[in-house]
Amino acid sequence: MLDYRSMFNLSGRTALVVGAASGIGEASAQGLAAFGARVVAADLNLAQAEQVAAGIVAQGGQAQAVAVDIRDSASIAAALEGLGAVDVLVSTPSINVRKPMLEISDDEFDRVINLNLKGTFMLLKAVARGMAARGRGSIIVFSSIRAEVVEPGQGVYAATKAGLRQMVRALAAELGPSGVRVNAVAPGVVETPLTAPIKGKPDWYQAYANKSILRRWAQPSEMVGTVVLLASEAGSYMTGGIYFVDGGWTAADGRFSPPL
């Protein structure tokens, strides 16, 4: 009989979490370590990534930190050097420029595209090659509800998140025969450094809270269950999917609650 309790066990696996210095990446690193993975906390902010790794070790887990800039293929290669086989990749880095599309400069467009889309593309290529050669692996890319729904000022960011969704599907189709699974997680509004400016504007913050069915923002820790599921044998038949962890944001109209 199958031991269902062991399906989430990540012991003996190496998980590379990119963007691990804060927010969803930090929580993902902590969660994967809690289920037994050896975590490599990678971030442009090496000092903060080292603190995250040290915190994991202090709790009895296995972790180390590396510096990486996913906009630079040489930096990605350097970060991977000496890590050995990577069994799980979690990619979280994103930036946003909130402006009407007609006001976004070419440089601002390039800055968002180069990190969110091109940087993720280069990271996936670098890690997925080894996974495909070994015939196993799980790749988890963070997209967003903005891959599905959008609002004024989010055009370029949304385009990158929709692009990641299709990139994940294509890569899943290409790597499925090699035993590598590729999935995307699409959060709603999560309290992270990226969304911190909104918290200082109570009307805006509350409007976003009210849009979800649960009537609140998410915490980064609430993304961890989906990450662990997709990383582990519990998600062994899940690939090419986008999994909305959005408190019901995309499920409900949200404009008006009729009297019932």
Instruction: Tell me which DSSP letter residue 176 carries.
Output: G
Residue 223 amino acid letter = M
Q: Which of 157, 205, 237, 243 is catalytic?
A: 157
Establish how many alpha carbons lie within 13 A of residue 86's alpha carbon, considering only the half-sphere containing its beta carbon.
Answer: 30
SS3 content of the chain, % helix, strand, coil (to 5): 50, 15, 35
Sequence-ordered list of residues with C-beta below 8 angstroms from that of 88, at least 6 positions apart, any chain: 10, 13, 14, 15, 16, 32, 37, 137, 138, 139, 140, 231
Handedness of CA 73, 74, 76, 77 (dihedral sign): positive
157 included as an active-site residue: yes
In this structure, are strands 62-67 and 88-91 parallel, antiparallel, or unpaired? unpaired
Biggest CA-to-CA distance, the chain: 61
CB 198 within 8 A of CB 204: yes
Establish how many alpha carbons lie within 13 A of residue 182's alpha carbon, considering only the half-sphere containing its beta carbon.
Answer: 27
Give the residue numbers annotated as catalytic, written as ranges: 157
